[in-house]
Structure 1
Amino acid sequence: MPNASDAAPRTGEHVDGYEVPVLNEHAIRIAAGILLAAGITALTITLASDNIRPLQTFGMFFLLDMTTRILISNRLSLTLALGWALTRRRRPYWVGAPQKAFAWWLALGLAALSCLTMSAGIVPFAVTLGLCGICFTLLFLEAVLGWCAGCALHQRFSRKPTRHCANGACDR
């Protein structure tokens, strides 16, 4: 009977030579770019039309994508699947999955808070826009610069050592 450590991880995959599950950084950065482009488009339409529906729709899509990555399987995330498809001819750049999962949990929390404030109308719309702005900034940093805020926080606060960071950030 296989034990729990033999099971396939929900986030990442086991690759020879890596002691933790890993993910392809190229696909992750493309997925972040896709989310950023969709989010900025939704924000632009919302501001131009004075209709909050496009931003709410994007927020729900973002929540679904992050929830799928974390709780079901990163292989079923639409944006990551697109990222994998667009990078299929490139050699994977493996990074540790635990820190990416941590980052995605933070993104899920920020998105849930943004959606809650947007839907409930309990705070001024400017606060919701500020939360969206933080999220878009973090997506930009990941997609364009390859810097993951959640990964940096994971390295700082995790009890387990953070392994296989993008650009050797764990080794500093």
Structure 2
Amino acid sequence: MGFLPEYGEKVPGYDVRVLNEREARAAAAILFVGAFIGLTNGVMLQTAVFSKYFISFFTLDFLIRILNPRYAPSLILGRFFVQNQTPEYVGAMQKRFAWGLGFIIAVPMFYYLVISFEPNPLKVLVCLICMFLLFFESAFSICIGCKMFNLFMKEKATHCPGGVCEIRVKDDVQKFNPLQKIILIFTTIAVIWGTYAYFTELKDRTIFVKKMKELFMSDEALEQMQYEQDMAEFEEEEF
């Protein structure tokens, strides 16, 4: 067979070509780990060496995904880890659409972090969005790009992960009773407040918080901070 056969696999019992969602989730988890390592290297060690290699791999991987996912390195690696699990088939076209969006995100990251190294807060935000999408797919089997497929395509997606594309009634085990709803609300508030407190109330007690603050500061603010540090060191030497 050629490198560009019909997209997806033909599986008996499915009216459209499909892909194995278990492989996709495993691949998303692998890429998320790579992105996380790149982010922590940049923040903690202030080096982009790992990120340059990872983004190059990420861009090439997603290009291959939208051409022929059979040969995408991350999907092959994901298959290795889940080869003994029962496949979960999902529609191939919405996955291709989602991976196309991933490739669109990857191209500017590749240019600004590999070809012409110009990191700034906006580019870091794009990386965080990419990590967010990878995390949701790997942890919750929620393909946000697949959901966007229905907004742009006339033909609606079928065979989505977890059967969310098909109309069905939730089982009792999937519903929330009043107490569970209250716990969910308070848990969400606690997570949001905790995140806010970490980045604000802890000030610069951790290297991570300090680097994140510096990353999002303007040049003028960085110069002012450096001036204050120099003055403080000068005063210490004087006394």
TM-score scaled by structure 2? 0.65
After TM superposition, list the pairs within 5 Å mapping 1:26-45 onto structure 2: 26-45=22-41
Counterpart position of 2:106: 111
Deviation of 1:160 after TM superposition, in Å, equals 1.2
**Aligned runs of 1:141-156 on 2, under 5 Å?**
141-156=136-151
Unaligned runs of 5+ residues in structure 2 are: 168-239
When the two chains are superposed, the root-mean-square deviation of aligned CA atoms in Å is 1.6
Q: Tell me which of 42, 49, 57 is aligned to 1:46.
A: 42
Corresponding residue to 1:60 among 38, 56, 60: 56
Instruction: Indicate if the aligned counterparts of 1:155 and 1:170 stay in contact, CA closer than 8 A.
Output: no
Which residue in the other structure is 2:10 paired with? 14
Q: Which runs of 5+ in 1 are unaligned?
A: 1-6
Residues 27-57 of structure 1 deviation map (CA, whole Å, 9 limit, x = unaligned): 1100000000011112211222222222121
Aligned partner letter, 2:61? D
What is the one-letter code of the residue matched to 1:166?
P
C-alpha separation in 2, matches of 1:95 and 1:165: 5
Equivalent residue of 2:90, what SS?
A: strand
What is aligned with 1:4? none
Give the corresponding residue for 2:215: none
Q: TM-score, normalised by structure 1?
A: 0.88
State how many pairs are aligned: 163
1:23 aligns with 2:19: yes
Whichever of the two has the greater Rg, that structure is 2
Separation in structure 2 between the aligned mates of residue 24 and residue 107 of structure 1, nearest angstrom: 18
Name the CA distance, whole Å, in 2 between partners of 1:35 and 1:89. 21
Offset at 1:24? 0.6
Which residue in the other structure is 1:102 paired with?
97
Higher relative contact order (CA 8 A, sep 6+): 1
Counterpart for residue 70 of structure 1: 66
State the Cα distance separating 1:102 from its structure 2 match.
0.2
